[in-house]
Amino acid sequence: MVRNPRYDILFEPVRIGPVTARNRFYAVPHAAGMTNSMPHMRAKFRETKAEGGWGVVCTGYVSIHPSSDDAPLPFATLWDEDDVRSHALVSEAVHRHGALAGIELWHGGGSVMNRASRTAPLSPSGTSWMATHVNFMGNQRPRAMDAHDIAALLRWQAEAARRARRAGFDIVYVYAGMGYLPYEFLLPEWNQRTDAYGGSLRNRVRIVRELLEVTREAVGERCAVALRISLEELRARPSEVAPSEAHELVGLLADLPDLWDVKLDSSPTDCAPSRFSPEGSHEPIVEFVKKLTRRPVVGVGRFTSPDAMVGQIRRGVLDLIGAARPSIADPFLPRKIDEGREQDIRECIGCNICISSWHDSVPVRCTQNPTIGEEWRRGWHPERIPPAGSTSSILVVGAGPAGLECALSLGRRGYEVSVAEAADEIGGRLRFETRLPGLAAWGRVLDWRRAQLERLPNVSIYRGNRLTAEEILELGNTHVVIATGARWARLLYSALEIPAGRLEGPGIFTPDDVAEGARIEGPVAVYDFDNYYMGSVLAEHLARSGQRVAYVTPAGHASAWAIMSNEQPQIHRALFSAGVALHTLSRVTAFAPGELTLTGQFTDTTTRIPCRSLVIVGARFASDALHQSLAAQPEELTAAGIRSVSRIGDALAPGAIVHAVYSGHRYARELDADPATLGFRRDAPLARHTTPAAASRAARGDLERLT
């Protein structure tokens, strides 16, 4: 196919200082859970984006010195020559496909705890980030930086920049955003200094200017120097000489960097979930930057629509279309636009499972793209899959996320696939969940797979077809895959933090009942110990339908796990806006229509609230009766020519949609595969070249600089 001419502008080259990006697609720096301990996984992950057509592909955050230690969160380092060799794998891999390689040099300052290095953190005035998220909590407070520390910071940046140049990178970053050290100098809450680095904005921005200057001196004419900066908070602060302090800052530094990479200040706003923020949500904050600089500007906004991308360019908002999450969901997004295959783009749904993987300190995961993070260790490619290993025919029972992904991947391999769905429409849990407040974008999981399946003549879908074990035995398939999902249970929650004690009777419901149209009479209590999105989104849904709703949870926050996916702050605001009453640290211990009894999670105190309907959002169990029935008939299976009966997705083990999609994809990849290939390769750091004596001298030098 031929590229649509209206997207030609996206494929124009862009000059960035001494280097040129081949197009306007820019895979911005983002964490991916792959540190120097996984150098081959990291390189292949970034290489896949370059292969997919991104003009620039950047690393995640890379520490410039042991005083910037984010452990146990997965961060990379560029502290010595061994790190240079490790990162060179990335630049070489990216260059193989004609893309530029960028590296985000980083010092966390007072936002890190230096748990592993046990070095006192640094901050402009000794102020620390007193986070409420346990992953960022710590007891070690920073010390205020003196003139020697500032000189050391500039030296560390310059040394890291020289290492980055030796590692082969084309774009080297100064990172002044997201609460990290250079950003800390910009805000008076962090910076209470009275010297040349504090007070006026001109003084507060001095450290950023000097970091840019030493970086440029270090890399010479070979590399571009980029400034990544958060502007949300500064945009809201008045300036005496400009419309805001953000405007003033950009004016002060206008043409000093070769590239402006502009973003927001906190992860929940910068990487806002689709449940609360639309595509292009950054524009109101960053739209002014291009008016104040002659340098190219890159920004993000969960862009998946090529028309939205073109709009950003033509309206003068951005020069380069930045992406983190969309480049994870579809590393081949640019190539698909270039080849006139926009309909094949696997669009990001904005669920932020990718972000949760960083909080979990594991390689990146994606609901839409089950191959992400598996490029090297399993050899999975997002666009290529091995051909069928036999002439087997496969029956997939259930057309939810797992069944659809399984059928699609098997169909692409060339197998004859039949999908039997009991309901009149495919989609499984997505049919209901995408109708809940803010979750419409999650429908892309279904829409993309449905559209791709419609183009495969070897895959047939039979709707309204609830099969029995006996009927399956008569169909003549070689393999049977059970993807019948899971059901919510009417269980309570014990003081041991285990679902226990079934609660039955009138007025007691689960999300399945709500999905099936049960009449819910108010006042309603939603009892949530699932801790992800379902409890809070059902509470909001019921409240906005006119019911009086209370939200009850044994956790300390609504949707407690959603702190991992950047949703928790917005969830609390949404519940407040909908008028939902919150009862945290509380367990349901009794219910009679009209009254609900709550007991403190850590105390014996009781509270009674009015309640006619109780919706329990807690435990889920696999709907695997069909699998059990088939498994109990081994002789009949053999006689019918059925070689295997397998479960995938929630029918195997209930989880989030990401787990279901991955499960379906993995089954499809591994069918008829050589058993010797079914494991995954274990990555390891590159062998160190530093001698023990040299390492000891370097460690002593670092310690002396910090004390």
Distance (Å, rounded) from C-alpha 407 to C-alpha 323? 29
- Structural domains of the chain in order of their starting residue, each with its CATH number: 5-359 (3.20.20.70), 393-485+623-672 (3.40.50.720), 489-620 (3.50.50.60)
Look up residue 667 and give its two tokens: 């089954």
How confident is the model over 25-72, as pLDDT tens digits?
999 999 999 999 999 999 999 999 999 999 999 999 999 999 999 999
| pLDDT of the residue at 593 | 85
Q: What is the predicted pLDDT for the residue at 692?
A: 47
pLDDT tens, residue by residue, 315-353: 999 999 999 999 999 999 999 999 999 999 999 999 999
- Cβ–Cβ under 8 Å, residues 499 and 492: yes
How far is residue 286's CA from residue 647's CA, in Å, rounded to a whole number? 48
CB burial of residue 120 (10 Å; 0-12, 13-18, 19+): middle
From the list 605, 615, 445, the residue with the least C-alpha distance to 525 is 615
| Contact (Cβ atoms closer than 8 angstroms) between residue 623 and residue 608 | no
Q: To which H or E segment does residue 80 belong?
A: none
Asked if pLDDT for residue 172 goes beyond 50, the answer is yes
pLDDT attached to residue 697? 55
Across 384-437, the runs of DSSP E, i.e. the strands, are 393-397, 416-420
Q: Do 234 and 263 touch, CB atoms closer than 8 A?
A: no
Interhelix angle 533-544/568-577, nearest 10 degrees: 20
Q: Give the C-alpha separation, 25 to 52, whole Å.
A: 10
- In the 8-state DSSP scheme, what is residue 8? G
Token readout for 677 is: 């290939």
56 with 334: CB under 8 angstroms? Answer: no
Burial letters for 268-283: b for 16+ Cβ neighbours within 10 Å, e otherwise? bbbbbbbbbbebbbbb
Give residue-wise pLDDT tens across range 624-640.
999 999 999 999 999 99
pLDDT for residue 674: 87
Catalytic residue ranges = 180
